[in-house]
Structure 1
Amino acid sequence: MWLSKKMAGNLRREPTAEVARMTGSSTAQGSGEYRDVALAAPWGIAYMPPDAARAVLVNSTEGMVCAGAVVEETALEPGELLLFSQGGARIYLKNSGEVVINGQVFAAEEGE
């Protein structure tokens, strides 16, 4: 009994992901300092998280990778998408079919 408990205790795994604060373009601070953090995103999308962004880091065969940033509270409804930059530019795709670009609303065309 003691031996099986001891062996089971040794099998505990470390978390495979960590939320850390970005401290530079490719550095983050979490349970340790991470340098040369690669950024993962869907193909065709490039981004650079700002300093202090809460990033999700995962360990890979090539080192730590930022899989994205933790989204702060938003008023989005399920199915909506918001692209934004630290400088204030915004593109909001709404469920109604409207597209809002920096506050200017473009209505969906009839029949679409």
Structure 2
Amino acid sequence: LVSARADRIVLVAGGARDATGVPALEAALKEPFGTEFDTAGNTWIVEMVSGNRLLKVDASGLLTHAAGQLKAGFSGDGGPALQAQFNGPHNLAVLPGGDILIGDTWNGRVRK
């Protein structure tokens, strides 16, 4: 994150621990590609090919796994988000109602 107020770079997420449910500054990220923010103060991150996941950093700085699996694929529409598979998610958008759209690039889909 580049702070417009201070003209400096600030680390928001990324560390050495290969885990979720930990502070975002400690969690290892796998090819983070897209980032978006919601009105509740959460930061959402999609990981590309090595991650294929949607991650959430809440206002307290805790990083959790919200959707997808480490293995690329295509499954899970209509089911639990943590069981879904993406293949190269490249971008995301948080809609006004709180839904999140994910560009599932190599599956040729936009998923919610």
Q: Same fold (TM over 0.5)?
A: no
Task: Indicate the structure (1 or 2) with the bigger Cα radius of gyration.
Answer: 1
TM-score by length of 2: 0.24
